[in-house]
Structure formats: structure tokens, C-alpha cells
Structure 1
């Protein structure tokens, strides 16, 4: 269609002033290209006066109602040729179908709008919910995130066939009791409100979504909800100019495409009694359009609200709104009456048809700018997926993380350090089930959970109260499901009393998942309940502003030091908690739990690669089940449990689905998780010399053939030691019976070592094992031969040097401070069998299913505790140890091993001899041999375990990978080598390397 302006000269003159003004605004829907302008003019020319008035009417639409309702809505829109529909409750698919129906019967495409201040989820299920504006108000110095929120919301809206979002709210919330704005405002500081609202607006408008600033001229300082009454703003014009109008001025100047006028009585602007601002020419035309120079679309607030209908019935109110200068009436209830009265107003000369025509053309230009000049129906395929992209998930995480506010941090208790000194309980108040906060807290260390509500019986509360005496730190997470002042923000008197009781212990770190103003309900006594201690007496206070999975999980991560905090209160709550309050908290490098996109990896690609490799293993019966955990840059980006504990119940263990918190037998991963870190620590302390000789630390070896073996050779498996010794075979007679002084079927003082439920070993037999190692022959040639033998001896060496039993040494030196509470020997002491994955049915030695006891026969004969095998634990806890290695010996604000020693142990020791080993650690082959991660750099290291376990650390800055794979591939028999022939474990970490190199596509 060629460019055309076939409109009479007088009408062009009428539009000249605002068209030239629009050209000075950027961005603005008034800046159309030739095609868009031609479309708007052409459509306008073909309309009659009634059609032009109808373009100024928007009615409500719901996609969660019966077909009869939808049919009536279709008839209404079609009959009166209305300009738009404001969508409310429903679902995305239902709304898309309804929108397509509505657009199909409209000669002129409809303007589809929504109140989506915190995302489309404000109205529709199965869509993205962003933080409330008050939450965003806490963000400091990172308004680009708010811009991105606007941009993402624009993408979602356009995908759903919408052209306008009635947002942002630019009201300055300077009244804590405001029942309708409150959490919908960025805060009480006009500069912050203007700046953040501008970022939000630009994000939307830069991506072709119309916006509407609200609620003009400022709805923040009132205690009345305009949905139910007409609020009075008793402020002078000077006060309004100084505060309420400031954000509107700034955003209008920046090119706002729309402004929504509120239903407010403001005597300083219009002295007419009970006249809402929506019906006031003094406010709409004189102030907004003339004085402030706004030339975009002026929308009314919903015309069904009591703020307008209390004094002006439907129809009359609509007419008066148009007379006042409204461009678009939102939520007109009685369309025939409204149209009739507007037409009568023209006939009476109260408004000119030319004025209505100008507004109609403005609406059409807005439609063209938003893409309706090239309207296409909504594509239904993949709609819900497109509306819930992983990028929205990532943005939500970043927005939430940036808003977290620490209001008290006594003696810098946050982030929590020295976990080995803390006995932690978590008490969730007003949640009767384990919360997301509690689950996340449990990822960092042993945390015992309690849940209480206002309905919890006193007897149960008494039991909880008594139990809490055993802890020196209580994490109190307060769950408030109401954010409105009329409901006291969900804070009941008993809830406040429970918080007070927790605070009175002097051990509480309190996180309040609710409106910031609720802090006032926790600072002073409520109603008839006398509160003995205020929340300000807590050791620390964290304010996440609302209750979502994001706020719960990230608040726990903040408390444990995986992330920091930089948020500031956007509002003043009382004299104790004022706008601008917020203490900085720094991360101390504990694992962060997030999604791959945060580190530049495509989550779908990574998941597809890992799932495919694991599923091949499951299909081929390479293992019954497994757990895969991956981290990059100290961020856990993949955690998944696959398969089952067993294939069937034939051996006595049910095929229970594998869980992330299942304990696995680590097998030889024990070597680099117990013996190796112990030696590194002793090297740091100058208590162990890598170039010393075996006899230096094992006096009984002084006269043996191993006396002069050098530890550096021993730890790199080139000291001529035998690979292994089948100790158990020496305990049997030729007829298959046990030799004397080896085993008995019942426990006794002489036979206390439990090998199975019916097999007990002689108490001194471990000494025989050590002697067998001492007296064993050496291999004739000094070359690489992988050997278990020296690792069996390290527990003795550690105890001899430190005076501490080996298990206690590794737990106190590493596991407890790391928060790796499940890493343990002999797990049956602490865990039920249902939490432990079975390994092999031992048909030769123990004649039973090995379940909760060490798989390795030699370690079993050492009471399940050895430096070469016997460690059990979860993937998550094991990763903490290897993340400490990746961080060059530091983790959680604590140094465990020096950077120098980490570097020494993890480097190739004898590459000139063709030996690829570090000290204790395995490393990549010098040339790729097909059985390791192809992309691994020379700096990487790790270890595999016989039961099907694997750990890998890639410290190269290009990758920064930590990887754990746990399986029970030996179930039901060790003869199953498919996990090795399929190369499952290393192929999975190779997928992570590839995903890192590939990035987000």
C-alpha cells in the first residue's frame, strides 16, 4: 500500500501539534514508518464516527470462564466494533485461543492489554512470575536487570498476542498503610522509583510493547483502595509537584507511550466534590496533556471500580472520562450506555467529533506501532514452553539475588563459617512441610528441620522447644502468604509470638518471606499477645520481600555464603528499619546451586547429552542407577538421580528409585578423598616428607624390603608394590572352612569386627594384614603399577603422626568444616539401609549382598575403615571436597590446604617416565587413549572407583569444572564391566566440556 494521507486539511492541522511533539520523543509509538502510518490513516479513513468512538473502548476478557461467556464477549466486541480487550484471569493456551477468536471477528485488530506488573503470571497460570516492584526496589546499581525484565516480558506478551502492559507502577509509596499500591511500588524514594520504572518501561517499549504509567497523578499516599471507594489525596499542589508527579514527568520526558489515570479525589487539582481524577478535565487535559505535555495514550483505570462508580454510574462515567480527555476507557461495563452517552456528548457540543477522531487515530497509530498493521494469529504450537524460557528462570534468579537485603548481621555471623562448630536447626514458621529454604540449607551441612504453624498443638510446640536446646544456631524462616496490609501481611498474633520465642533463644537467624512492612508487626507487641523479644534482637535478619521458590532457595544460599547480599530497604517500616538500610554481605565461595545458563551453558543441550549417555547405560544394564552432579565456576548446574538401587528384589533389596541424597560406596575414590587430603595437610604442616622413605613413618618396615621406598614413588604407583593382595583367601582352609583365629559366626570380645551379619573377624587380624603388606615381594622393575597397598597403610601413618584416629582426622580436618556430613565410613551406624545403595552380591567371600558395608574385601577385613576403600557418601557432599581442591585448597572462607601443596599433588610427577599420575590423583593420559575425557587439559585430575564411581576436577580457567559420578555398577556382580566398555563416566564429563565450549546457542 503506497504512503497516503487522505485526511482533510483541518484534521491534519488538529494533529500537527502532537505529531511534531512526538518526533522529539524517543522511543515512542508515534514514530511510525511509512507502512505503519499509511495503515493507520487508511483504516481511519474507512471508519464512520461510531466506529471511531468504539476504538476508545476496552472491555474485560477472561479465559477461565464457560463457553457461553466467551460467546457473549465475541458478540459484544463484534457488534460494537470495540478497540480492545483487557485480559484478566485464565491460562495462556485458553487466552490465546480466545484472542484468536476475538481477532478473527474484528475488522480492525484489537488492542489486547493486561495488568502484568510482575509478569503475565499476575493474571495467567503456567507463566512467568517476576518479583514485585517493591522487591525490585531493593536492587542497588543494577537497573539493567529491570530493563531485561521489561524486555523479556515484552517478548512473552507479544508471543501471547498482547500489545500493551498496564505497567510500570510509578506511584511513590510513602504511606505504609496503602492498601492497593504498597508492594506494587518501587518504594518511597522518588528518584529510585523514577529510575527503576524508566528501566522497566524502556525494556518493554524497546521491544515493541506499549506501556502505561500508573496511577496518575500518584496513588501512593492514601489508606483507601480505589477498587472499593474514592481515595482522598489531601496534598497541596506544591507537595504533588515535589513528590508524586516527579516520576511521571521523568518518564513522560523519556517517551512513555501511555499513562493510566487513577480514580482519586485531589482537591488541590480539582475542587469539584467527589470528582475522580479520571473524570477531571483539570487533571487529564490541563495537567497531564497540556502542562506535562503528554501526547501518548491516556488510559482510564478500570471503569468498574468503586472509586468512580460510587458517584457516577456506568455510561455517565465513561462519557465524563472522554470529556475529561481520556483516550481509552478500560473495563467499560455497559458498552451500549457508554457509546450512547459519548455520542450524546458530541451532539450536545460538550466534545467535538474532531477531538474523538484525533484520539481514534492515536489508538490506530499505537496498534500499527505494536505490529497490528501486520496482524497474524497466535501460533499455538509450543506456546507454554515459549512463555517459560530458561532465560526467564535465570533472570528471576538474578533479580531475586540482587534484591536480598540483610538488615542485621550481629558480629558478622553471616555468612555462616566454621560449620564444624555449629549445630543447626531450621524452624519453618507457618509451613507444615519441609520448605524450599530448608531443603536448600540442607545442601550445605547437617541441618535438622522443624515445622510449626499457628495451629500446631501446644504439646508439639513444647517438644520442639525442648529439642531446640540441643542446637547453637536456629535458622528461622517465616512463611507469610499474604502481602496486603488489611490482612496484617499474613502475620497472626501467634505467628509473631512464635518468632519472638525463637528470637528469645539468642540463637536465631531470621528470614522473613513477606512484605517488608511486616517487620513492624514483629517489632512491637501485637494485639493481646505480649511479645517478649522483638525481631531486631535476632542475630541476623534477612529480608527477601516475598515468598517464592527463588527467594527461599537464594536466601539459604546467602546465609551459607554461596552468594552475597547488596539489597537496601526501599521503604521505611519504622524507626528501626528505614529506607536505605541494608548491610553488604560477601560470598565466601561455597557451592552455588543454579542453572547452566548462569555460566553460559545451554541447559537443554547439556541435559540431552547427559540423559542420553546415562540412559544407554541403564538400558545396557551397565548399572542399576546413578547420580550425576556437575559444577562450573563453583556453581552446581546439574544434579540428577537416575534409575533404581537394584534391578529387582531378588537379592533382598527393593528396586527403590535412586535419590540425590543416597549414599554410595566410593571404592577407590576413597584414596583421594581420605588418604590424599590427609597427606596434603601433613605436608603443609611439615609433618610428612614426600621425598622421605617408607621406614621413616612406619618403623615396623625398617627391616623390610620396603624400608627405602620413597613416598613420591609410592604415591605415583611406581615403587614396585604389588597391585593388591587377596587377604581373605588366606583365611580359608582347603576344604573351604575358616582357619582358626580368623572368623566366627557370632560377635564376641575376641571376634568384634563385623564383616557381615553372621561373620565376625578376630580382633587382631588387621595386624596380620599390615604384616602381609610389609612382607609382600616387590615387583622386579620400577614402573607404573597401580597398587592399593600403600593406601591401606596411611591410616596408621596419620594416627602415628597426629595421635588421632584416621576417621576422626579426616572428618574434623575436612568433612565437618566443609559441611560434608554424609561422608563417612561404616554408614550403617548413621543411616538406614534405604538411604544406602547396595553394591555386589559376594558369592565368594561373604556369601551375601553387600549393602551398607564396604565392597572391597580388604577394607571389610579392616572393619570397613581403610585409606584405599570404605568411604561412603552423597554426590553433593563429595563434590564439596573436590570443589575445595578446585579452589586451590580454600572453601567456605577457610583454608584447608595450601595452594602450593595442591599444585604439587595434582601435577604430573614423572612424565619423563611415561607415568601420568599425580600424587594420589589420576590425570589424563599424555595422548588420548579413548578411555578418558578427550577435552581434559593437562591441569585436570581425579580418580575412579571400582564400584562405578568417578570424580574429576578441571581447574583450567576455560572450564573450571568439578564433576561427580556415583553408581553401583557392580550390582549384582563385578563381572559387569559395561560402565567401562561404554566409557559412560568419562563420556558424561566430556559432554560437560563440550557444553562449555559450545555455550548457549
Structure 2
């Protein structure tokens, strides 16, 4: 009875949140921000020029840095009249309470943003993490990704947030990309576009403002723009046909925002060491004029070394503003940046009409988000609401839909449930969900663990012991927080994997970034190979379902790993 009451209450809250943005969301976001609006005009007229400039800036906020830090942000809100905040690490209830407090400091309600590519769990403790975009790239049913967008939007709105700086629609065609990689839907531009549209449409339909990033495409770089300025040395033709494709499709599908990358792109702007964020030919010329984008253009974080290294002390802010950005994210010196923007306006480096259009666009976004009728968030019940059973159910559905069989059929994958079986996990020193679930189906089985730094004597002893077992299941786990392209296993362990793969009746399940397969030579010889993309328990349960015949595999590899496993590989049976 209690469960039914809670479920009914949760559904009612979801209805209220999804409808609270008001009548504005009966119209598309682009229609809302491009038509005349009485509320917008009224607010704009009441603002001083300094207050109007403040609407451009979105500053950093945390709930894990102590009261002094929180108070300093409140002072910036009051003194600089910023348009919004970008929240980072902390906890969901603390975030909701602080958002309520910060909203009281602002004359115009703040738009609250966060990077939540895989939901609140990307930044917050005690919160749900949905699968990474690389995992989603393997799914063939895009309706599931739309549902994920709806769920993520609910979580954002439940905390009082309005903007998700997602999805990432970069095409990751460089396996060594240090900053995008598993954050991408893959290396096929059509798949990336379709997945990105499904995800953002789910969020946007549920009332959250979204941003496709990082324009014009950060997928083929080997430099992290957090630390240096990457260069994209490709021709205009290549950029237009490949990198820009998902952005063009997202724009045609009505996306509300686009975020600009910090990259030097000589084919689009030959200015030496100029980041794309600060380039008017790129921001205005390509995105706004050529691609006809009418939504909000946001800079990537202006505190990143890829931009501030050559343009410190607010210089980057004014250049981003003049380039055509509407929203300046995470300035290192927003106060000085605002002063420089004021000087640029006075010098008529930007027309009065363009400046007014920028500010009114940002105010119209606030109207669309329902901030014309702002109400504070109710903190009570947040942990239960964002960690609701429906979220866990969807995560398992997404895992089930993504699990990919690269080699094998129903017979070779399942083996013989009556035979003596070894179930080995590599990378963890405790029983895994995969082992515990699989052992229920193989009564005559033994569990083994291999440390990722196992020595040669231990390895030889294990190989000797495994001679007693005619069939073996191996699970490979990346224990790190973020799934890198190469496993941090010792060469001994990689050799062990190769030797095991060469034996008959060995099935490998890889719960790691799919690119790691390229660093495990010989694994292609296994009788069966499954990829689970990340270390989550849901993925391990999905693999067991496929092995035991409870579920047919449907996932397709979203990236090309090597000649054995190109993009689109995936066996169905």
C-alpha cells in the first residue's frame, strides 16, 4: 500500500514538474525565443546596461566547498547580476537548498545549469547515473534513449535546474581522444545524429534547455582543451560533411542550444592560436549564418587553458561576446569581462540591435523554462524521487539493449550448463555480479579472481589449475571511474587473457570501453566475445541474460576497434 501511495505521489510530482514551465512550452523553444514577448520586453526595459551585460555570464557553483565559497557566489550574483549558474560537485538536496537561496539573491530569476551527460550522477553524489553515450551508441531502439532524456530532465527539474549542457554530438573517430571518447555516441555520423536527437528531444520535450556540443566537432583530437588548444587541421569540405553533420541535424530538429569548442581550425579561421570560441567567422559565420541556428550559443568553459592561455583577464570573454556567443560560461574574471564588454559596446564594436537580441534571447529562455512564474524547489523527498524504481528499471533496459555479441552463437556462448566450469573475473578482487549471477546457472562451477597486476608464478598456477575445467567464462573489468581506451592491466595479465582466449570453449565478456579490445591481442580467438561497455552491475546482469538464453543480443558496436571488430559489428541469435 505504501509503495502504491509513493508511486502515485511520484507520478503527480512528475506531472507538476513537466507542466510547471507554463504555457510557453506549448510552443517550440526556437519559436518562443524568436518572437516578441511582453514579459521579456518588460524585464529588459527595467534592467540597466550593466544588468543586461550580467545576463551573459554563468558562473561556477558547488555545494562541497564550504560556506565561504557559497557566500562568494552569492556576492557575485548580487554585485554582477549574472544570468545563471553552472553547478558542479555536491549533493542533490544541498544543491536544491542552495539554488533556492541563490534565486533569492537575484533580481531576475537565474537559469541553473549543469553538465549531466549521463544524468545527475555525472556531478552529484547520491544520484542516478545513466549509461555513458558510448554505451547508448550500441542501442538500436532510440525510443529508449528518448525515455532516458525524459528521466534526466525530471531529475534536473526536481532540483530546480533548467539547463543540461548535453548531449555530446562529437563524432569520436579518434580512439586516443583524451577528452571525448566514451562521452560520444560513436564514430558513425548518422548514428551519432540520431542518438543525439533522441536524447535531446526527450529532455527538451520535458522542459529542459539543452546544448549540443562541442561545435564544430571535438571528436578527432588528441589534445584535451582543458589543458591546451587542440588544432583541427581538416578541410572545410571534411568539416562540413563529417564533424558538422550531427550539429546540422540537431539544428534542423529544433535543438535549443549549441556549445562552441575551444579549438583552432585554420580552414574556418586562419588567425593563429585563435580558439573557435572567439572566432566570429565560426560562431556567427558558420553556425548562425550558414547553418541558420537561431537558438542560444554558449561558449565552452572560459576557464579552460585552451582559451585563457592566450587571452587572460577577461579578454577571452569580450572576444567570445563579439564572436557571437550568447552565453559566456565560467569566466575566470567575469567582473573584468563585463567591463571589457561594456567598453566594446560603447566603442560600437557590436550593434545595438545585436546586443539587444542576445539579451532578449536569454530572457526568453528563462520565460520558456517557466521562470516568469518562478517557484522555489521543495527539498523534501528529493533522494527518493531521483533514485526512484523507474530509473533503475530504465538503466537495466538500456543495458539490455546495448549488450553486444562480437563473436559466437547461442550454443558457443552458453556452453554446457552441466559441465565443470570456471568463472574468472579479471581486475577485481571480490566476487562480481557477473560471477554470482552466472554461477546460479552452472551448478558445477568455481569462481576465480585475477588481480590486474598478477605475477607470473600466480598466473602459471592458475593456468595449471584451469586444465581441470573444460569450459571457462572470463569477465574483464575496468575498475577506474572513467573508462579509458587502454586497460591499466600488467603485461602478464594481458598475456593471460591471450592464452585463455586461445583455449577451446572460452567466452570473454568485456565490461570496459570497447577500444580496450585493441589492446588485448589474441582476444579475437575466443569462442565467444561480449561487450558491456562499462563496469556497471546492470551491464553484468545483461551479459548473463544473453549467455543463459534469457535474452537475445541486439547491440551493435558504435566504434571501430580494429580490423576484427569494425563499427556495426554485432551478432544476433
TM tier relative to shorter chain: over 0.9
Distance 2:312 2:493 in 1: 43
Q: Which residue number in structure 2 is paired with residue 419 of structure 1?
A: 417
Residues 482 and 37 of structure 1: is their aligned pair in 2 closer, same or farther, counting only changes over 3 Å? same
- 1:144-543 aligned at under 5 Å gives the runs 144-409=143-408, 412-416=411-415, 418-420=416-418, 422-446=419-443, 447-456=445-454, 458-482=456-480, 488-523=486-521, 534-543=522-531
Contact 2:175 / 2:485 at 8 angstroms: preserved in 1?
Answer: no
Does the residue aligned with 2:366 lie in a helix, a strand or coil? helix
Residues 120-151 of structure 1: per-residue CA shift (max 9 Å, x gap)? 100011111111111111111x1000000001
Deviations 1:215-264 (A, max 9, x none): 00111111111111111111111111111111111110111100000001
Q: Aligned partners of 1:457 and 1:26: how far apart in 2?
A: 63
Q: What is the alpha-carbon distance in structure 2 between the residues aligned to residue 254 and residue 336 of structure 1? A: 36
2:73 alignment counterpart? 73
Q: Normalising by structure 2, what TM-score?
A: 0.92
Q: Distance in 2 between matches of 1:178 and 1:483?
A: 17
Deviation at 1:460, TM superposition (A): 4.1
How far did 1:411 drift? 8.0
- Specify the alignment match of 2:570 in structure 1: 582
1:506 aligned counterpart, secondary structure = coil
- Contact 2:262–2:276, Cα closer than 8 Å, also in 1: yes
1:111 pairs with 2:111:
yes
Name the structure 2 match of 1:28: 29
Q: Report the CA distance shift for 1:497/1:483 in structure 2 as closer, same or farther (over 3 A).
A: farther
| Residue 551 of structure 2 corresponds to residue 563 of structure 1 | yes
Structure with greater proportional helix content: 2
Alpha-carbon RMSD: 2.0
Q: Deviations over 1:20-62 (max 9, x none)?
A: xxx9x9732542799x933222211110111111000001111
Contact persistence 2:423–2:439 (CA under 8 A): no
What is the match of residue 548 of structure 1? 536
Structure 1 residue 462, shift from structure 2 partner: 4.0
In the alignment, is the contact (CA less than 8 A) between 2:486 and 2:515 conserved in 1? no
Q: How does 1:663-812 map to 2 (within 5 A)?
A: none
Structure 1, residues 553-602: CA drift from partner, whole Å, max 9, x if none?
A: 211221111111011111111111100111013xxxxxxxxxxxxxxxxx
8 Å CA contact retained: 1:483, 1:489: no
> 1: CA distance between counterparts of 2:173 and 2:461?
43
Classify the secondary structure of the residue corresponding to 1:419: coil
Deviations 1:635-693 (A, max 9, x none): xxxxxxxxxxxxxxxxxxxxxxxxxxxxxxxxxxxxxxxxxxxxxxxxxxxxxxxxxxx
Q: Quick check: 1:572 aligned with 2:560?
A: yes
Secondary structure in 2 aligned to 1:583? coil
Structure 1 SS opposite 2:146: helix
Shift of residue 324 of structure 1?
0.2
Cα distance change on mapping 1:131 and 1:346 into 2, 3 Å: same
- 1:103-142 equivalence runs, <5 A: 103-140=103-140, 142=141
1:440·1:557 contact (CA, 8 Å) conserved in 2? no
Please give the per-residue CA displacement for 1:945-979, whole angstroms capped at 9, x wherever unaligned: xxxxxxxxxxxxxxxxxxxxxxxxxxxxxxxxxxx
Give 3-state SS (helix, strand or coil) of 1:270's partner: coil
Q: Distance in 1 between matches of 2:378 and 2:271?
A: 50
Measured in 2, the distance between the counterparts of 1:495 and 1:71 equals 50
CA contact (8 A) 1:483 1:514 kept: no
SS in 1 for 2:407: strand
Aligned counterparts of 1:491 and 1:357: Cα–Cα separation in 2: 56
Whether the 8 Å contact between 2:409 and 2:571 is mirrored in structure 1 is no
**Quick check: 1:483–1:490 contact (8 Å CA) kept in 2?**
no
Which residue in 2 is equivalent to 1:619? Answer: none
Identify if the C-alpha distance between structure 1 residues 33 and 160 changes in structure 2 by more than 3 Å, giving closer, same or farther: farther
Note the C-alpha offset of 1:178.
1.1
Q: What CA distance in whole angstroms lies between the structure 1 residues aligned with 2:177 and 2:85?
A: 29
Partners in 2 of 1:39 and 1:155 — Cα distance?
26
Query: Where do 5+ consecutive residues of structure 2 fail to align?
Result: 1-23
Secondary structure of 2:449's aligned partner: strand
What whole-Å deviation, never above 9, does each CA across 1:358-384 have from its counterpart, x for those lacking one?
A: 111111110110111111111011001
Q: Secondary structure at the match of 2:414?
A: coil
Q: Tell me the equivalent position of 2:17.
A: none
Alpha-carbon separation, structure 2, partners of 1:101 and 1:448: 56
| 3-state SS of 1:156 partner | helix
Query: Do the aligned partners of residues 571 and 455 (structure 1) sit closer, same or farther apart at CA in structure 2, a change above 3 Å counting?
Result: closer
1:45 aligns with 2:45: yes
* Aligned-residue offset at 1:500: 1.7
The CA deviation at 1:315 is 0.2
User: 1:827-863 CA deviation, whole Å, 9 max, x = no partner?
Assistant: xxxxxxxxxxxxxxxxxxxxxxxxxxxxxxxxxxxxx
SS of the residue 1:226 aligns to: coil
| Cα distance between partner residues in 2 of 1:72 and 1:409 | 58
Contact 1:29 1:365 in 2 (8 A): no
Q: Judge conservation of contact 2:413–2:527 (CA < 8 Å) in 1.
A: no
The runs of 5 or more residues in structure 1 that have no matched partner are: 1-22, 524-533, 586-1001
TM-score (structure 1 length as normaliser): 0.53
| In 2, Cα distance between equivalents of 1:342 and 1:440 | 60
Q: How many angstroms does 1:481 deviate by?
A: 2.5
Distance 2:53 2:31 in 1: 20
**Structure 1 CA distance, aligned partners of 2:497 and 2:453?**
14
Q: Write out aligned runs for 1:808-823 (5 A).
A: none
For the Cα contact (< 8 Å) 2:30–2:294, is it kept in 1? Answer: no
Distance 1:436 1:484 in 2: 19
Mapped partners of 1:489, 1:314: distance in 2? 40
Q: Does the 8 Å contact 2:456/2:492 carry over to 1?
A: no
Counterpart residue number, 1:600: none
Counterpart Cα distance in 1 of 2:336 and 2:434 = 53
Determine the C-alpha separation between the residues in 1 that align with 2:341 and 2:34. 32
SS at match of 2:222: coil
8 Å Cα contact 2:512-2:533 kept in structure 1: yes
Measured in 1, the distance between the counterparts of 2:417 and 2:542 equals 19
The number of equivalent residue pairs is: 548
Structure 1 counterpart SS, 2:173: coil
- Residues 562 and 156 of structure 1, relative CA distance in 2, 3 Å threshold: same
CA distance in 2, matches of 1:333, 1:493: 43
Q: CA deviation at 1:314?
A: 3.4
Residue 449 of structure 1 aligns to a residue whose secondary structure is strand
